Amino acid sequence: MPLDGLCVLVVEDDFYLASDAKAALESAGARVLGPCRDADEAAGLAAAERIDCAVVDVNLGDGPNFGFARALRQRNVPFVFVTGYDQALIPAELEPAQRLEKPIRDRDLVAAVARACR
């Protein structure tokens, strides 16, 4: 399976999207942490566990927030943005991260995580 042996953190505040992402990643062989509904919860898990990649929603209820993505970047943890926002909203230093536009297909999410972890 494409994600065998990888630990992926899901940060998404929408229950249904988070559940779908978790199921897709687990079906591809990943161990999934979360889903986390906010950046504080995600930061706690990321500090306590070794993660290979994260799937991060840009808006966790309070508007766009890039603090957690920046923290991941500082730790050299790859991540994939999942968002309904346009690419232009992504800060320049985070533009190299892949961005999937909602709604996403399971196979696109799995492929993006696999690419991020290479």
Read off the pLDDT of residues 5-61 as tens digits, 9 standing for 90 and up.
999 999 999 999 999 999 999 999 999 999 999 999 999 999 999 999 999 999 988
Helix axis angle, 39-48 to 67-74, nearest 10°? 20
Which CATH number is 69's domain given?
A: 3.40.50.2300
- Tell which residue, 57, 75, 73, has the closest CA to residue 65: 57
DSSP 59: B
Q: What mean pLDDT do residues 75-98 have?
A: 93
Residue 1 lies in a domain: no
pLDDT of residue 97 exceeding 90: yes
Residue 2 lies in a domain: no
| pLDDT of res. 88 | 87
Domain limits at 14? 7-117
**Phi then psi dihedrals of residue 54, to 5 deg:** -135, 150
